[in-house]
Structure 1
Amino acid sequence: MKFSRSALGAVVASLLVKGAFATGLHADRDESDCAPPDTIPDLTGADFRNVGVVMFNGFDMVDVYGTLDPFYMLALIEQRLTLYLIAETLDNVTPRGSMNPYNSSFYPEFVVTNTFEDDLDIDLLIVPGGSGVRAPDTSAAEAYLQKMFPKVKVFMTICTGSGLAAKSGVLDGHMATTNKKAWAQMTGWGPDVRWVSPARYVVDGKVWASSGVTSGIDLSFAFIETYFGRERAEYIWSMQEHEPREWDDDPFHTYFGLENTETQPCPWR
């Protein structure tokens, strides 16, 4: 399907919700038919001090640094936060993956701070997507997710990062979503995951999963609003001039012609 800016723009314009976290697309649905999400962890912002990101060659830059930017601002104005960039080895990683037919070098390198072998006390673990989730061998990353999932307070996936998490088995029985263009492949990796579409992002207890790339920014603001308050979240998104979408505001579900999934979550707050 050729990308049509005018067609997509019309869909987005028709679905855009003015005012962050306003009424979503499914506000009028019969909640007797929806799936209640697990209760989110009963914590406060002060309980989240250490943030970890799973890194690998072929990660998407916005999945990582778009998602982290609201937390970067939070660390400047709210409380001390520590960031860990965690990979299989301490070698630098790049966004370049297997899908580079022109041999382009249009990417930076990123410094890894820790390895999967380190014993870290992580409160929030973020799993990005990108072409690297399709690498022939992702077993080291999968094993790390299996090790850390029971330990972390909140487990967050961005874009096709939910596919990597699904392959590891940690999302089994949980509601999650993923990039709509990659929907068939990612959901195929997790037959026991309760996949949700339409959804900009899904919150199911400690599992917070976003759809494609920039939706991770919206998920970050939902997290900040939940644990640090609406006023703090609004202050940061206003500085960044970003208008977050509601969790069920998902024009890309329609654009890529997906059918509604059987699982449709009830409003999570």
Structure 2
Amino acid sequence: SAPPLDVLLIPGGYGTRGSPPGLEDAIAFIRARFPELKYMITVCTGSRLAARAGVLEGKQATTNKRAWLDTREMAPGVKWVAHARWVVDGKCWTSAGVSAGIDVVLAWVEEVYGREKAEEVAGVMEYERHEDSRWDPFAVANGLPEDE
């Protein structure tokens, strides 16, 4: 019963694994609302929910590197990118861990509102941005294979 959405931000965390109460409702919500969205942004293992909703099928995406192998196995139809802090494929913006989620949102702010606004937001947060979406030391640290 929510009003129409332009942007849906899907957080991750331990609640994206298993079958906690409300998880299937969240997945159904993502599936139902995806067609109307201008942007979908996932943070950390929020990409697992988007994948389970079927909206990442055939798209490039990333997720938290500690959940990488399990997530890739769970959703083999997604083109998972191991060595990426964030990935943009059409209206889908997916990020690796929590701090990568900050970077993907700032990249999105820059895309939509301009570089000056993204820098302003980062400054207010006292956050040093990683602007290279391919910068991801955690893929190597977690022993993930090179991307194809």
TM superposition score category, shorter chain reference: over 0.9
Please say if residues 163 and 187 of structure 1, whose CA atoms lie closer than 8 Å, have aligned partners that are also in contact.
no
Aligned to 1:173: 58
Aligned-partner Cα distance in 2 for 1:202–1:255? 19
| Map 1:87-102 → 2, pairs under 5 A | none
- Whichever residue aligns with residue 38 of structure 2, its letter is K
Query: Offset at 1:119?
Result: 3.7
Paired amino acid for 1:222:
A
> 212, 221, 229: which is aligned to 2:114?
229
Structure number with higher relative contact order (C-alpha < 8 Å, ≥ 6 residues apart): 1
Matches within 5 A, 1:211-226: 211-226=96-111
Structure 1 residue 153 corresponds to structure 2 residue 38:
yes
What is the aligned partner in structure 1 of residue 140 from structure 2? 254
Q: C-alpha deviations, 1:26-84, integer Å up to 9, x for none? A: xxxxxxxxxxxxxxxxxxxxxxxxxxxxxxxxxxxxxxxxxxxxxxxxxxxxxxxxxxx
SS of the equivalent of 2:51 reads helix
Structure number with larger C-alpha Rg: 1
SS at match of 2:88: strand
- Paired residues, what number? 145
- Give TM-score scaled by structure 1 length: 0.52
**Which residue of structure 1 aligns with residue 10 of structure 2?**
127
| 1:108-119 to 2 correspondences below 5 Å | 118-119=1-2
RMSD: 1.1
TM norm structure 2: 0.93
Query: How far did 1:239 drift?
Result: 2.4
Higher helix share: 2
Could you list the runs of 5+ residues in structure 2 that have no partner in the other structure? none
Q: CA deviation at 1:181?
A: 0.6
